[in-house]
Amino acid sequence: MKLSYPVTVPDTSAKVMAWCDEYSEAFPALKKSGYEAVELLVRDPKTVNRNLLDELLELNQLSLSAIGTSPMQKEDQLFLMDTDEERREEALRRFDDLIDLAAYYRVPVLIGKFRGMVGDQPGCTLGDLQNIMRKACKKAEKAGIDIYLEPQSRSSINNLNTAEECIAWINESGCKNIKLLMDLYHLEKTEKSVTESLLRSKDYIGMIHMSDSERRIPGYGNIPMQEVLTALEIAGYEGYLSMEIKQYPSSAEAAGLCVLSLKYIESLKDERNETVHLINK
């Protein structure tokens, strides 16, 4: 398992499902807990201190797994589809800068709620979003990076809710460098079976957001995590598992518990496979 944990950059005060407020302290703590990478959540790409980030990554022998946008919508209420033209233009500017930042680190850009709500107003249709994404994908393709689109439940957004809808939309767009960010929390709400959805979408999966029901630590809720890991193995998924969970009792403790829980779940899977192997023998 390649484990990643989300961390917000210092210029945001928004509280999201990530390690917030302790930027420099988060990196060594995550490395000590067993993480290989950081998912960087950015407010304004122009303000990211690349020298400091490079230093923290190198010092702690961590990689970046991806760059996300949660602080943009949480703190500044910016969305690619918006009835307000000024806010929409600012969101587009930051999206363009985000691709530049992601290109520097050779990592994908994550687009979830940042895409905005579909409506009848100009700039708020799925056609408008498709035009935005086609342009962005051309720039990203030239830079050699991908864009990951996240299916989200209707409680969060009113468009592209299921994996099937996202795949159809991706194919219609003709963009070859759009993949899926599959968030288990949302999949539990939108799919008949989380594991079947992962298997059906295996050719499109770029990244996994690990979260149990109610945004709990993986293994602490109702989602069958052992089956999830098995499905990902069958699908040939070798990318990052990045935690998007409630930061309780603290980010440091939550990050550590995620590793312990997933290692335990993985050990159960190994024991089961060994038992099957002995029986077949």
Total number of domains in the chain: 1
Give me the amino acid identity at 280. N
What gap in Å lies between CA 42 and CA 170, rounded to an integer? 24
What gap in Å lies between CA 2 and CA 243, rounded to an integer? 11
- The answer, as to whether pTM is greater than 0.75, is yes
pLDDT of residue 192: 97
The DSSP element (H or E) to which 135 belongs, if any, is helix 126-143
Interval 141-197: pLDDT, tens:
999 999 999 999 999 999 999 999 999 999 999 999 999 999 999 999 999 999 999
pLDDT of residue 272: 53
pLDDT of residue 281: 46
pLDDT at 275 over 70: no
> Which structural domain range is residue 181 located in?
2-280
Interval 15-73: pLDDT, tens:
999 999 999 999 999 999 999 999 999 999 999 999 999 999 999 999 999 999 999 99
How many other C-beta atoms can be found within 10 angstroms of the C-beta atom of residue 48? 21
CATH number of domain containing 194? 3.20.20.150
What gap in Å lies between CA 151 and CA 174, rounded to an integer? 18
pLDDT at 93 over 80: yes
Three-class HEC string of 73-110:
HHHHCCCCECCCHHHHHHHHHHHHHHHHHHHHHCCCEE
| SS3 at position 240 | strand
What gap in Å lies between CA 104 and CA 100, rounded to an integer? 6
